[in-house]
Structure 1
């Protein structure tokens, strides 16, 4: 599609020369002879670039610039000035003009300024598009917690690069959803997103699924088949449960990541790879490396950008939103009017540990919507595991008359746990009954610096 340029100048000869030069460059050119017509055309045609002469009848270039910027703040505008009016041109740039050029000017100089201006607009359009995609994709991720907000900011920052991403998360936390988001915001979003669960296939089948095979490579290989890596050309491949692959497969995968090339099973042709890799696992790969269960060189190839998805118990403030979302979803699916959840049932859910994370929560809400007769989910319909939660309080504890600061109590408990364990984060987290990632989050929250100890 041609870029549209609007020119406003009261000199017919100038308009003729500009149109002739810019048409040769492949631009679609519209022209007017005063600022008033420029504003009218601008509103109707939505050009990609505007060139304004400073001195024009009816509405001069400066006023036209101000009006255009009110309508479209990001619109690139180039000002044409008469010799000696540079001071006014600088003032125009303060108002919002992208650049200016003085008469008489070299047409090649104007071409360069126009190219720069259109690059600026294209960049702004791309940023606007990506932000729109971020808003659209993140709307599928239900949250209100800071920890999830920080995660999505990380996703937005990493997505436009081609860096390999390793998603670390427990089962049921939404690894695939985050992988989808990274691909959707990336420069490869128009390419395919190919997914494979590495833990769901035996080694020999996984190899042929990943790399493909040639006809006759093994019994049953009656024709050539492209593998997942080949199918992901120009796009992204998502390797879920990467921690489950064998040592032999780790070696083969390492070569593909290092060389960005592969061979089909039973084939000799080397295929150049053009894909981005996102891997995910619920296992502790660093610990597996230490135990010689996972290759260290492959670990570093995968762990370029690590992204940790918090467990649901680490983002409990998101539970009410998730509960409401799933109630609405399953009420609609089952043809019921939207149900509610009463306070005591929600409190039970807030205090449950959710070892199956969001997937477990989703399944329980589906069950509750099916089994409920009225318009409210009550405590008695919840599974036994959730209903049987007991709340243990020290009988000797008495709340002071003046009250307490829970934030300060939490901070003091964390510091005590760190001091008791010699500032070992893993042991401190265990002592506090939380995960190490939760402890790190709360260290940042309370500005506790353990580097000095």
Structure 2
């Protein structure tokens, strides 16, 4: 089936050149438009898989047209044409939602390659929309309508159809496990096994035999042959959760699996071929671990083929009402409680919290609210959160009246003490006690943060 491409440029020779270049090389039909208004009119009448649009046009320029397309046809792929060397315009186009850009005058091989890639994206989106509609699939409890979550849904749809390795990154409690399950459920492997492996919970000497299996007699307790988790996941998906916490020895063996698609059970002289889709996740900064020689760089690049970064809850506050209502409904059923509502005061308070533990922390708070509330409404006394919205400082938990009663130096020291414990504590919570990552979040050097931690007697181990 031919792809439909709309070429938009006020220079008629350029649109004709695009048509003559693309139609013989790609299975496509190129429609020409000589202004942004003409393009919008054509888009109302016909479906297109791709728009190639010049940035500089009289009247409505390419950026404005791009904005209109993103508003009216959010899934439509757009590639921008920009003057050679005008990197600023190219970057601006990408930020505004363009898939890619092509410099004019263009190289024939380059434009054919980029257009083919753009059409592949359109095809993937179309196919996954069809699958979503068929299955009426809601990505496995991933809740949110914010722009950052819409990007995540878009990425899940794009990667699900392929077998390429996916690396999901994000803080603890952001939904990495649910994202992996969503990718599997949307993939052609959906009817086969999904095998999750929580890497940090399995000692390294056992993890190898669990992943790759072993032959009878390979070690003292090996009384029989045993298939590993990779073999169990054959034709399906294996999810290596928190892969940033495994040692370099296992990394080397997993690199071979990624490269060769084969495993060698412990004690065996032969390798076994496997057909497994690999999804991995981490809340660690792998590039920092590479710099510290704790993570293999070649292994990282094998994992990071299709990255998906999950946003922290504090960056999608608008999703909290939707999330909170969903979680309360879910846990009322699970706990066999009558349906409960969340009071507006509680909802306002939930939206003011920093949520270092992300959705998992929000879920725990709401479960407690369900259990503590005696009425149909979950109210402020039912949840273990301090109300810091009125007469209390946003970073600290003390009353202003208390501070006003103290001498200046004592008041100052108390404020600094409370501020640093709350602020640095929140950063350490997010980084799981990792001082280097916390320092980066504070935009300061590691040594400077260490001095503050020492001065105010903050124990990073309490946040691991």
Paired position in structure 1 for 2:241:
240
> Following the alignment from structure 1 to structure 2, what is the Cα–Cα distance between the partners of residues 130 and 278?
20
1:167–1:307 contact (8 Å) kept in structure 2: yes
Cα deviation, residue 211, structure 1: 0.2
2:174–2:311 contact (8 Å) kept in structure 1: yes
Paired position in structure 2 for 1:307:
308
Distance 1:290 1:322, change over 3 A: same
> Following the alignment from structure 1 to structure 2, what is the Cα–Cα distance between the partners of residues 124 and 144?
18
2:144–2:322 contact (8 Å) kept in structure 1: yes
Paired position in structure 1 for 2:208:
207
Cα deviation, residue 335, structure 1: 3.7
TM-score (norm 1): 0.57
What secondary structure sits across from 1:368 in the alignment?
helix
Paired position in structure 1 for 2:329:
328
Paired position in structure 1 for 2:274:
273
- The farther-off stretch of 230-239 and 139-148 is 139-148
1:208–1:227 contact (8 Å) kept in structure 2: yes
TM-score (norm 2): 0.56
- 1:353 to 2:379 alignment: no
Paired position in structure 1 for 2:44:
none
Deviations 1:119-154 (A, max 9, x none): xxxx99976651236741326221111110111011
> Following the alignment from structure 2 to structure 1, what is the Cα–Cα distance between the partners of residues 134 and 185?
7
Over aligned residue pairs, what C-alpha RMSD do you find?
2.6
Deviations 1:367-411 (A, max 9, x none): 111110111111122214x43564549x9xxxxxxxxxxxxxxxx
1:238–1:277 contact (8 Å) kept in structure 2: yes
2:328–2:340 contact (8 Å) kept in structure 1: yes
Deviations 1:26-84 (A, max 9, x none): xxxxxxxxxxxxxxxxxxxxxxxxxxxxxxxxxxxxxxxxxxxxxxxxxxxxxxxxxxx
> Following the alignment from structure 1 to structure 2, what is the Cα–Cα distance between the partners of residues 245 and 428?
23
Cα deviation, residue 336, structure 1: 3.3
What secondary structure sits across from 1:136 in the alignment?
coil
| Aligned counterparts, 1:31-430, within 5 A | 130-132=131-133, 135-138=136-139, 140-384=141-385, 386-388=386-388, 390-392=392-394, 430=442
> Following the alignment from structure 1 to structure 2, what is the Cα–Cα distance between the partners of residues 334 and 315?
28
- Count of residue pairs the alignment pairs up: 278
2:329–2:339 contact (8 Å) kept in structure 1: yes
> Following the alignment from structure 2 to structure 1, what is the Cα–Cα distance between the partners of residues 327 and 192?
31
> Following the alignment from structure 1 to structure 2, what is the Cα–Cα distance between the partners of residues 428 and 213?
43
Distance 1:269 1:246, change over 3 A: same
Distance 1:392 1:360, change over 3 A: closer
Deviations 1:286-331 (A, max 9, x none): 1111111101000000011110011111111111111111221222
> Following the alignment from structure 2 to structure 1, what is the Cα–Cα distance between the partners of residues 216 and 281?
31
Distance 1:126 1:168, change over 3 A: closer
When Rg is computed on C-alpha atoms for both structures, the one with the higher figure is 1
> Following the alignment from structure 2 to structure 1, what is the Cα–Cα distance between the partners of residues 330 and 238?
30
- The farther-off stretch of 230-239 and 326-335 is 326-335
> Following the alignment from structure 2 to structure 1, what is the Cα–Cα distance between the partners of residues 294 and 303?
15
What secondary structure sits across from 1:351 in the alignment?
coil
1:344–1:378 contact (8 Å) kept in structure 2: yes
* Runs of 5+ unmatched residues, structure 2: 1-123, 401-437, 445-464
* Runs of 5+ unmatched residues, structure 1: 1-122, 396-425, 433-453
> Following the alignment from structure 2 to structure 1, what is the Cα–Cα distance between the partners of residues 198 and 388?
35
Distance 1:268 1:367, change over 3 A: same
2:161–2:187 contact (8 Å) kept in structure 1: yes
> Following the alignment from structure 1 to structure 2, what is the Cα–Cα distance between the partners of residues 203 and 167?
22
2:167–2:307 contact (8 Å) kept in structure 1: yes
